[in-house]
Structure 1
Amino acid sequence: MKKTKPLYHGHRYPAVVISCAVRWYFRFQLSLRDIEELLFERGVVVSYETVRRWCNKFGAGFASHVKAARRKPGTTWHRDEMFVTLRGEPYLLWRAADQHGAELDVLLQKRCDKAAAKRFFGRVLASCGEAPRKIVTDQLRSYPAAKAEIPELSGVSHVFVKAAARVNNRAENSHQPTRERERRMRGLRGRKHTQAFLSSFGPIRQHFALKRHLLRGSLYHKELGERFAMWRRFPGLAQNPSAV
């Protein structure tokens, strides 16, 4: 029987250091050099390029574990698009969130036609596993055209809102962390890198970003402690590559 190598095989530092660096990068508005300094303060000497490689290698895996551990998505999907500029070229970032504000998925595309909307609908369906009860979108015509061609969504209620009225706040508010991070990073880079970063950024950030204003202090600390305990239980985080 072929023996599978540990997740952190070949890495100098233990899993707890790597997971901490990855969590900091996706949770807070920190640069790679900021994390390098924070680790150095704690006696861990690594370059910011090493932190970048850790985030690129392990970010998607951590995000998938977070998605699997979170509660079942809500029955109402809010969808919206935002423009981003990558190396001087405009792109559309499609985002879906449920009625609780939890991000369901993101997809970076060049167009906003029916094919692009259909591709995004299929991606969110695959991520959530089942169709919603209601879909809330702006008045982009690509949405109803694409929805009509997807059997799982053909009978789902579709509510249109005017973007100028700021009614679709769930989807619009979910863009704010991306805008803030975009400014902190002084702009996003290539399409492939941006898609990979945002796919991990949303789930990991929301895993720890509880709605503090809705919780009592004791309940907030209890829930946050459970989130940290869950993070430490993700596969591979207890492995020590130095012992391999």
Structure 2
Amino acid sequence: MAEQNPFKWRHFQAEIILLCVRWYLRYALSYRDLEEMMSERGLCVDHTTVYRWVQRYAPELEKRCRPYLKACSDSWKVDETDIKIKKAWTYLYRAVDSEGNTLEFLLSPTRDAEAATRFFCKVLHSTVVSAPQACPSEEQGAQPTAPTVPTSMILTPRVINVDKNAAYPKAIADLKAAGVLPEHVELRQVKYLNNLIEQDHRFIKRLTKPGMGFFTFATAWRTLQGYEIMNILRKGQVQGVAKGDVGGQVALVATLFGAAV
């Protein structure tokens, strides 16, 4: 059965929608900024329309990029950063490997051992070792083709670096007792070893400021999924799209959604 067109019944062309979604998720822009930028190009797009596009297509972009991510190393750095939702603090758990590649992320209303356990389980289920795969490329007169999905397997970490949060040792101990994590996995609670992920938080925090905060947990999570996947694209974690290759990022997003470049 053919996949349903994700842009069916939309008033604007897919290229315009993906452009607005990419720009919002990649750069420190507000919805009203994008409304003005589109107006300069002769397009009357209301800021609430851009908001609905981001809510609809940001999670879809993350879902479609996931199968084509490069393999990561077995040294994990885990930390959480605070995100304000309607005047209440929530916590965005994030993990990167020793090279700064994003492994996984999870938004949680609490910061405790239960939340840490949920996050570690999510990382384990989403971290894969994959074979090199083809990626979209644009030849003369040809449309880019979608990459093929590789076979994959779960990658077990060798070492997990965390801060002094007491919830992490308890979560790791529970996962080892349940057989989810092997006993040989080392937990290191040394703050300076997590400088890499603490620096990586800045990209996400910089993007949340122009939007003046979030008003519901659901809208925050959908938007953060988009922020994270664009950060992943920026780092060059997708096969065939190098770090800093903006043209490759544009071509990949268009190809994943079946749109023209």
* Alignment pair present for 1:138 and 2:171: no
Residues 96-123 of structure 1, C-alpha deviation per residue, up to 9 Å, x if partnerless? Answer: 1122222222222232222111111111
SS in 2 for 1:96: strand
AA aligned to 1:154 is: P
Q: Which runs of 5+ in 2 are unaligned?
A: 129-153
AA aligned to 1:159 is: R
Equivalence for 1:153? 181
> Percent sequence identity over matched residues?
28
AA aligned to 1:106 is: F
Maintained 8 Å contact 1:60/1:200? yes
How many pairs are equivalent?
Answer: 227
CA-CA distance at 1:30 after TM superposition: 0.8
* Separation of aligned partners in 2, 1:49 and 1:224: 27
Matching of residues 1-244 of structure 1 within 5 Å: 5-129=4-128, 130=154, 131-150=156-175, 151-155=179-183, 156-162=185-191, 166-208=192-234, 223-238=245-260
CA 50–120 in structure 1, closer or farther in 2 if over 3 Å, else same: same
Comparing 49-58 and 139-148, the one that deviates more: 139-148
AA aligned to 2:180 is: E
Maintained 8 Å contact 1:134/1:157? yes
Q: Which runs of 5+ in 1 are unaligned?
A: 212-218, 240-244
CA-CA distance at 1:153 after TM superposition: 1.9
CA-CA distance at 1:210 after TM superposition: 5.9
Maintained 8 Å contact 2:82/2:90? yes
Off by >4 Å, runs of 4+ in structure 1: none
* Separation of aligned partners in 2, 1:92 and 1:175: 12
* Separation of aligned partners in 1, 2:226 and 2:243: 24
AA aligned to 1:148 is: A
CA-CA distance at 1:6 after TM superposition: 1.6
The Cα RMSD (Å) is 2.4
Maintained 8 Å contact 1:97/1:103? yes
Structure (1 or 2) with the greater helix fraction: 1
TM-score after normalising by structure 1: 0.83
SS in 1 for 2:258: coil
